[in-house]
Structure formats: C-alpha cells, structure tokens
Structure 1
C-alpha cells in the first residue's frame, strides 16, 4: 500500500477511541492552519476524550480513507456510512467563532 496523504504516517492526527476500536470514520478534516488531520466517527465531539495518534494508526485500520487523501487543507469530507460517497466542503471556521 502506498501512502497517499500529504503528512507522513508517523505524524499526529486527532481521532476518538471508537475510530481506533473500528467504528467507521464518517468525518475527515484537513486543518488549514497546520495541515494536520482529524478523523471522527460522526458522534458529538468531546475534546476531553479526543486522542492524538499517528496517522498510520487510523489509516491502517480504515484503508478506505485513501479516498480523501487528496482533500485540500481547510476542507472536510463527510459521509453517512462506509461505502457511501464522500461529500467534500470547504470549512468556514470564522462563522463558528
């Protein structure tokens, strides 16, 4: 398997325990400020329970994430379930402040 992401496999990303436990990734975010990544399951985010792990830990468990590896910084992708198409959109963090 070739690595398709713009960050190295050992670079940290944000995720949650359920994604590590095998629940599907339904939200992928490529942060604009530092080009880091976040992979979440779609449940409400509790940052107190967020995990910081190597990208390879998530991508290795969810190889279908290769479908969003070309997501530009400042964009997110969402889907309803594994196998569904990803919907990609530019993030508007300024409107959330």
Structure 2
C-alpha cells in the first residue's frame, strides 16, 4: 500500500462524517474577510433569531468587511466550528483565543 492509498482512506473517513448543522452545507452565512483570508481565527459565532449564522473574528467591522460563504466553507476554514452547531436561535458564543473555552449567551 502506497502513501496515496493511505491518503484516500483518510479522505474517505472525513467524507463519511455527518454534517453537524441542521442547516444544509450550502446555507449562506456571514464571515469577515479577516477569517476568510486566514488573517484571524473565528472567535465570535452567532446563530441569529432569524436563523442566519455569523462566524467572525471578534473585532469591530464595517459593512464592506463582510463576506457571504456557505456553512460547508466555514467548516473547511475551521473544523472546530462543528462544536458550535448546537447553538440555538438567538445564541452567540465568544472566545478570547483559539485555545480558549467558548462562552455561550443569549442575545438580549
């Protein structure tokens, strides 16, 4: 068995994982260019009352900083976001750093 055969097995395993969000992988969500272009990690996640998801770096943003991507793309940027798929409508989660714990709250 060659190196390529091992890679194919690992790739197949990853493909068999269940998508963690109730929304489909092609659901549009908001991120910022900082996250999309790899400048900063995701440190703020919101599941808005209207059902929209936001995955941001936690900084203050201008409207022109926003980007629309799919939930599937968010998981390809940061696989750990699957842990936050359980956020209910109106909840958000913040973290101080990539290594930090998430604090989950309801929006007021």
Shorter chain as denominator, the TM-score bin is 0.7 to 0.9
Cα RMSD for the two superposed structures: 1.0
Q: Could you tell me how far apart the structure 2 residues matched to 1:17 and 1:48 are?
A: 9
Unaligned runs of 5+ in 1: 93-97
Please tell me whether residue 56 in structure 1 is matched to residue 72 in structure 2. Answer: yes
Paired positions, count: 91
**The one of 30, 33, 38 aligned to 1:17:** 33
- Higher relative contact order by CA 8 Å / sep ≥ 6: 1 or 2? 1
Q: Which runs of 4+ in 1 moved over 6 A?
A: none
* Larger Rg computed on CA atoms: 2
Q: Using structure 2 for the length normalisation, give the TM-score.
A: 0.79
1:10-89 to structure 2, matched below 5 A, reads: 10-22=26-38, 23-33=40-50, 35-89=51-105
